[in-house]
Amino acid sequence: MELETQETGLVLGIDLGTTSVKVSLYDGKETIQSASCDTHSKFVCSSQPPGAAEQLTSRIMETCESCLRSLDSEKLSRVKRVGITGQMHGCVCWSHSVFDQLELAGASTIVGFNDDLITSSPLITWEDSRCTEDFIASLPTPDTHLRLATGHGCVTLFWLQRNNPEYLEKFTHAGTIMDLLVARLCCLDKPVMGVQNAASWGYFNVSEKSWNKEILTAAGFPVHLLPEVVDPGVIVGQLRSPWHSIPAGCKVGVAMGDLPCSVLPLLQSSSDAVVNIGTSAQLVTSTPAGFDPPKSTPSSTIEYFPFFKGQYLAVAAALTGGNVIADCVSSLCQLAEDFGLSISKEDSYKKFIEKGLEVKDTSVLIRPTLYGERHAPSQRASVENLAPGNMRVGDISRALCRGIITNLHSMMSRDDLIDRGVGRIVGCGSALLRNPVLMQELERVFKMPVVHGQGGDAAQGATMAMLM
């Protein structure tokens, strides 16, 4: 991969993930410092619709500030570019007045990240399931090769327009959580979104690089909220004020999707596939230059998302990943508490993996699709073949990890990979790399060599994209 030589400066990468924020400093060859913090940003209130998955915008931004405070200030003062990435599909709305708060030069933080000072909505995430199959079927057919699903930005805005139009009237802009951060840092009058995230929102034609404005307008969609769209890697502004020792004037790139950024450091050969398991899970392969993606159907298990330099990724994107393991561990903690015992989630997670490693095989079968899948939204989880002696924690751990991998295999199989010329899998993502049971099952189910991806995280990918 060719990276341009930088003017004796560093690149800062920021990943606003589903459960955590990660920041990385990159010198063009390697990551020299990084930090990660959990956001604890889940937002719950009695007025939310069924299936809502929302996060506190301010909490995510505060976590970003905390991560940056842990980095070396001298190194931050040498940053020349900032690359921002994060969770795709999700939607946050805000008012133009947010930028009235950003004129205090020299502040250590970008003010206006407090919800008391600005008008912004919670982040409605990619996990949101308020939009039913019937609701999505009522929407106009998009002019795009990608399907619509609940949790996609334009689908969410359609739901708000039809169910709470007065709420939308408070806002002048909409974008991903990363677009909001870029707009605040650069004081943009109108937000700018990258092609990768626009494609993940729906109603965006990738080949024409344009929103389906005529289709949307005819359906009463609030098109004035949509951002302008540019290619990934494009510089869209500069820091108006110093920020945690990063000097004013530092260049800021358009926000990018976390999937392409996670894959970028790892997908160096067409004979490799990447499996990324964090909160969700993805199996990804490259496509040849000039590839023209086919149109997805509601039942498609493989879709084609924009990558970099006009290329596409072939992606099996599962909603079933580390989130299911986290739910299972939380349930076990609650069960222990019901029996008057106390064990932390961290210790429970370690024990869950430890017991899974003790069980080399199990007859228990778990279909772990607690949240359904985009190609099968009504599908739910099930457990089969329970018998005396196999209801131990180790069996459940092994069966659950196998179920997560088997679900991914059902979306893009070993035969599919071989047909695409793949001979090796590169594994990345926090949930996968911290869980050797998952790694074992990945190799067992796909019957291919599996290697640990070195440096395959979205924050590092964002820095590399800014140097391409």
CB atoms closer than 10 angstroms to residue 70: 13
pLDDT for position 456: 65
Q: Looking at residue 227, what DSSP letter applies? A: P
> Does the pLDDT at position 116 exceed 50?
no
Q: How confident is the model at residue 3, as a pLDDT?
A: 54
pTM of the model: 0.89
**pLDDT of the residue at 7:** 56
Q: What is the C-alpha separation between 181 and 92, in angstroms, rounded?
A: 11
Confidence of residue 457 (pLDDT cuts 50, 70, 90): confident
317 vs 325: CA distance, rounded Å: 17
Does the domain made of 268-452 have the CATH classification 3.30.420.40?
Answer: yes
- For residue 1, pLDDT beyond 60: no
Write out the residue limits of the CATH 3.30.420.40 domain(s) in the chain: 10-260+459-465, 268-452
**Mean pLDDT (the chain, rounded):** 91
Question: What CATH topology corresponds to 10-260+459-465?
Answer: Nucleotidyltransferase; domain 5 (3.30.420)
64, 21 Cβ separation under 8 angstroms: yes
Angle, nearest 10°, between helix axes 436-446 and 393-411?
50
Give the single-character DSSP code of 224: G
Average pLDDT over residues 40-54: 93
Reported in sequence order, the residue ranges of 60-183 that DSSP labels E, i.e. its strands, are 79-86, 92-94, 123-124, 173-175
pLDDT of residue 66: 95
Residue length of the chain? 468
In this predicted model, what pLDDT tens digit does every residue of 215-247 receive, in sequence order?
999 999 999 999 999 999 999 999 988 999 999
pLDDT of residue 298: 87
Each residue's pLDDT tens digit, 400-445: 999 999 999 999 999 999 999 999 999 998 899 999 999 999 999 9
- Per the CB < 8 A criterion, the answer to whether 352 and 367 are in contact is no
Confidence of residue 47 (pLDDT cuts 50, 70, 90): confident
Six-digit token string for 70: 């842990």
- What's the whole-number mean pLDDT along residues 138-156? 97
pLDDT in tens, 390-405: 999 999 999 999 999 9
Structure tokens at 78: 């040498």
Looking only at the bridges linking them, the beta strands covering 54-55 and 123-124 are: antiparallel
Reported confidence tier of residue 102, pLDDT bands at 50, 70, 90: very low
What one-character-per-residue DSSP string does 387-449 give?
Answer: -TT--SHHHHHHHHHHHHHHHHHHHS-HHHHHHTT--EEEEESHHHHT-HHHHHHHHHHH-S-
Nearest to 136 by CA among 227, 128, 125: 128
pLDDT band at 112, cuts 50/70/90? Answer: very low
Q: What angle do CA 382, 388, 392 make, to 5 degrees?
A: 65
Within 13 Å of residue 129, how many CA atoms lie on the same side as its CB?
13
* Residue 104 or residue 191, greater confidence: 191
Rounded Cα gap, residues 388 and 384, in angstroms: 13
